[in-house]
Amino acid sequence: MNRKAEKERPSTGRSLIVGIWVIIMAALISELFFSTWCRVQYTRTGYEITTATMENRDLFAAQRNLKIELERLKSPKRIEARALALGLMVPTPEQTLRFR
């Protein structure tokens, strides 16, 4: 009867080994998923940095062009030409008022 009782009872040694094996495999698979996620985030962040750098360079170029355009628009020769085209003229000394 002892043999029959041993056969009916599950082997605790074997189930313990299977349980440990499942835990180890779950840990390894979890580590693989985490490693892959980190790599994807690293790559995505690199792309975002590259995009932001290119946008920054484009904005600096646009700012430089706008500064050049502003200086051109503020040019005294251009303003004088526009005023003469509108029929304005340089004031005479009698038309000029001086405040002290």
The pLDDT value given to residue 99: 87
pLDDT at 67 over 70: yes
Q: What is the pLDDT of residue 90?
A: 86
Concatenate the DSSP letters of all residues of 19-58 into one string: HHHHHHHHHHHHHHHHHHHHHHHHHHHHHHHHHHHHHHHH
Question: In angstroms, rounded to a whole number, what is the distance separating the alpha carbons of residues 41 and 28?
Answer: 20
Q: What is the pLDDT of residues 12-66, one digit of tens each?
A: 888 999 999 999 999 999 999 999 999 999 999 999 999 999 999 999 999 999 9
